[in-house]
Amino acid sequence: MKIDANRIRTLREARGWSQEHLADVAGLSPRTVQRLEAEGKASHESRMAVAAALGIEPGQLAGREAAPARPASGIGAADRIKITLWIVSIVLAVIMFQLVAGYVLGKSAGLRDNRINEACKAEPASCRR
C-alpha–C-alpha distance, residues 50 and 23, integer Å = 8
Please check the confidence at residue 110 and state whether its pLDDT lies above 50: yes
CATH homologous superfamily of 5-62 equals lambda repressor-like DNA-binding domains (1.10.260.40)
Question: What is the model's pLDDT at position 71?
Answer: 47
Please check the confidence at residue 62 and state whether its pLDDT lies above 60: yes
C-alpha–C-alpha distance, residues 5 and 33, integer Å = 10
Residue 83 neighbours by CB under 8 Å, 6+ apart: 75
Q: What is the pLDDT of residues 65-90, one digit of tens each?
A: 444 444 445 677 788 899 999 999 99
Q: With cut-offs at 50, 70 and 90, classify the pLDDT of residue 93.
A: very high
